Amino acid sequence: MSDSHSASRRRFLAATGGLAASAAAAPVLAQAAAPAGLPPLVGRATQNLLPRGKARRVVICGGGWGGVTAAKYLRQLAPHMEVVLLERNPVFFSCPMSNKWLVDVVDTQFLTHDYLSVSEKYGYRFIQTEILEIERDTKRVVTALGAVDYDYLIVAPGIRYNYEAWFANDRRMAEATRARFPAAYIPSAEHFRLKDSLRDFKGGTLVMTLPPPPQRCPPSPYERACLIASLFKQKKIPGRILILDHKDGLRPIGPGFKAAFEELYKDIITYVPNAHVEEVDPFKKHIKTAAGDFDFDHAILMAPHQAGDLAWKAGLVPAPGQGKPGGWADVDPLFLHARDDKDVYVIGDAVGFVSSHFAYYPKAGHVANRHARIVARYIAAREAGREPNYALPDNLCFMMVNTAPQEGISVQFDYHVNDQGVIEQRQMDFNERSPATIPEDFNWARLIYEDMFT
């Protein structure tokens, strides 16, 4: 399934350029008159982008795993409503399966999906634009193309990197770190930079810092380490991977990853627990942690994760010291609406603390997809004049740990509400490395992409 990386990259860039032009043009057609001195199809943040018709409107901020799913299900469950999906990227790029793409197990086409066909098929409006502000008091979202007002808002922004934890307000250090040693945990150009740098890597020490929990897809950094080690083996690159983990041990699927590190990559991967990051210097290529200081030749520097910027801009993230764990959106655990605003829902990774039993849902695409379907049902029920009944997500995650032969391990979660009204989590780790996991993984991806895009 692999392809030439540079060819796929050219295809991606060509696609993004083409889509950017057509997607940006569509919404502005609704404008009655052009602002003075500007061509009629050029948008401005200060204008009203979408005049209201009779239909009530749901605006979805962020077209990732949660947002795309929510748009489709809302159109199916509440077909009388107008649904508007706002997303900065011209093309959907999947983080799930992207570790396999880094080492050419899958190609770019496998990860990318077209927003325009699916929005046309289900009858929602996709607008490619940067969201600048969310004004909950006036029920408006301000974008680079103009403002859109809403009856219901779904905030699905994913994560941001909390570089402030490393560099306070030193933007130069944060930007240098992101450009030189990208985490590639947010769908963006970072993935291409990382893939290029792995292709050019001739040997030496590759450091990976792992963020503290809660973090996006906790097992995936270990999967990434295994797949890069597998690439080093295959290409005979004299590289050593140093995993600097904030946690005191490998989890989830700890025994499965430990066995892979020791049995498959003994001379390549070194795992260092309790490595809380204290200082990072992307220029001197040096890192100081609670478990020691390290120099590196190359690195994947993952700063701590938080709810995406838009959750902060919408005033959904409690300030530190208010008795809530910081950095994530404060929502009703069962109904996923903002605690102080029932018309504003949060889905996916941005969702904050939900349970005294397990704290946070796993920050996984599978969960974001389930949240989206659940919230679409809540909104459709409310629009039909019914009180919605709560529903809970599930989660399923496959991790490839070897490419020759292809073998994987997996983890599964389910949820229920106990007698005290607290959500409880059951976690099942499948630690035994097996080739049988691989077709299950690809089947999972195929079904969930189909659910979002066909």
Ligand X SMILES: Cc1cc2nc3c(=O)[nH]c(=O)nc-3n(C[C@H](O)[C@H](O)[C@H](O)COP(=O)(O)OP(=O)(O)OC[C@H]3O[C@@H](n4cnc5c(N)ncnc54)[C@H](O)[C@@H]3O)c2cc1C
Which listed range, 65-73, 337-345, 382-390, 404-412, lies at the site for ligand X (CB under 6 A)? 65-73
Q: CB nearest ligand X: which residue?
A: 64
| Whether the Cβ atoms of residue 371 and residue 351 lie closer than 8 Å to each other | yes
Phi/psi for 61 (5° steps) reads -100, 105
Task: Select the residue interacting with ligand X from 27, 63, 327, 393 (CB under 6 A).
Answer: 63
CB of 270 to ligand X, least distance (A): 21
Collapse the DSSP code of 137 into the 3-class scheme (helix H, G, I; strand E, B; otherwise coil) and give the result: coil
Near ligand X in 164-193, by CB under 6 A: 185, 187
Query: Among the candidate windows 6-14, 153-161, 163-171, 414-422, which touches ligand X by CB under 6 A?
Result: 153-161
Name the residue nearer to ligand X (CB basis): 275 or 397.
397
**Backbone φ/ψ region at 354: left (φ over 0), alpha (ψ -120 to 50), beta:** alpha
Among 43, 90, 96, 327, binds ligand X (CB under 6 A): 96
Among 49, 78, 95, 264, binds ligand X (CB under 6 A): 95
Instruction: List residues bridging with 143 in a β-sheet.
Output: 131, 146
72 binds ligand X (CB under 6 A): no
Report the residue from 368, 392, 401, 438 that binds ligand X according to the rule CB under 6 A: 368
Task: Verify binding: residue 87, ligand X, rule CB under 6 A.
Answer: yes
Q: Rule CB under 6 A: choose which of 27, 43, 62, 218 binds ligand X.
A: 62
| Amino acid at residue number 213 | P
The answer to the question of residue 217 lying near ligand X (CB under 6 A) is yes
Binding status of residue 412 toward ligand X by CB under 6 A: no
With the C-alpha atoms ordered 309, 311, 314, 319, is the resulting torsion angle positive or negative? negative
Short-list 98, 100, 95, CA closest to 401: 100
Question: What radius of gyration do the chain's Cα atoms show?
Answer: 22
3-class DSSP state for residue 75?
A: helix
Q: Which is nearer to ligand X, 386 or 446 (CB)?
A: 446
For ligand X, which is the closer residue by CB, 158 or 214? 158
d(Cα 113, Cα 171) in Å, to the nearest integer? Answer: 32
CA atoms of 61 and 310, how far apart (whole Å):
8
- The residues of the shown chain that bind ligand X, judged by CB under 6 A, are 62-67, 86-89, 95-96, 98-99, 130-131, 156-158, 185, 187, 216-217, 220, 308-310, 348-350, 363-366, 368, 397
